[in-house]
Amino acid sequence: MIDPPQATQQPHARQRARKRFGQNFLHDPGIIHRILTAVAAKPGQHLVEIGPGRGALTAGLLQAAGALDVIELDRDLVGPLAERLAGLGRLHVHQADALTFDLCGLLPANAAAAGARLRLVGNLPYNISTPLLFRFLAQMDCIADMHLMLQKEVVDRMVAAPGSKVYGRLSVMVQSRCAVQRVLAVGAGAFVPAPKVASAVVRLSPLRPPPVVIVDAGLHARIVAAAFAQRRKRLSNSLRGLVQPALLKRCGLDPGARAEQIAVVDFARLANAAVEAPRDVDSGCIPDINP
């Protein structure tokens, strides 16, 4: 069991939440304890916390792992955080924007090839949570897993299955690369100031290998985005200019179907087939490609 860290129990009133940074500071000891238990950090693991804020999770992560990298955009929080947690372990504070930060640069060269990867933890600003998720997905090769606090509505979309009303672009893009598990629900009262929405913690575990290796990630992303841009349209219309109806049929997909009916693995197979289609119009749907 992980004891709730004492360093997080006295929030500093002078460190006010800033709306432009989308800040809502976690303060509920019970929720903090449950998140730390779910992460289950161990000595020697390379942990990275995104947006530590006042350090609600930081102290417990640092005590458990012995060392921790944190990425914090708000420079006014950096100094007090480092001062308050001095002596708990090796804390490396990066005053930077997580949207542009090179996470893989935190690892030694060739570390991922040797099996060393980062564990990400974070209470993400809700106003930029989707761009952050896509940024993390782009660096998946050096990430072992992620435990992220997000708006409940976003987590609902991430875990949604085909046929669900909230199954969409985010569902497909995340599930193409990761196993997604909802960890716990978090009420608005767990934060200061309290947000106007419910929250949830989600665990993302990269799939190695994925069920279908995507040959051209850019094309796959364009196909998924186009399919869901007007989700009530049939695939033959929404994918016009990207995928021919004949190719949909060769991949076993109904051109009259809508995006919400298409499984994650079928989007990957379709994108792989579209890579070959311009060179061979008679090619069938490329089979699953595994390492």
Across 79-105, average pLDDT:
93
Strand 25-26, strand 67-72: pairing: unpaired
Where does the pLDDT of residue 287 fall: very low under 50, low under 70, confident under 90, or very high at 90 and above? low
Where does the pLDDT of residue 17 fall: very low under 50, low under 70, confident under 90, or very high at 90 and above? very low
Rg (CA), the chain: 21
Per the DSSP assignment, residues forming a β-bridge with 68 are 91
Residues 9, 272: Cα–Cα separation, whole Å: 51
Residue appearing with tokens 């860290």 = 5
Domains parsed from the chain with CATH numbers: 6-206 (3.40.50.150), 217-276 (1.10.8.100)
* Residue 209 reports pLDDT greater than 50: yes
Residues 116, 112: Cα–Cα separation, whole Å: 5
How many CB atoms within 10 Å of residue 82?
Answer: 15
Residue 160: name the closest of 239, 262, 236 by CA: 262
Percent of the chain with pLDDT over 70: 87
Average pLDDT, the chain: 88
Q: Both tokens of residue 96?
A: 């930077």
Q: Both tokens of residue 51?
A: 């947006």
Across 264-290, average pLDDT:
74
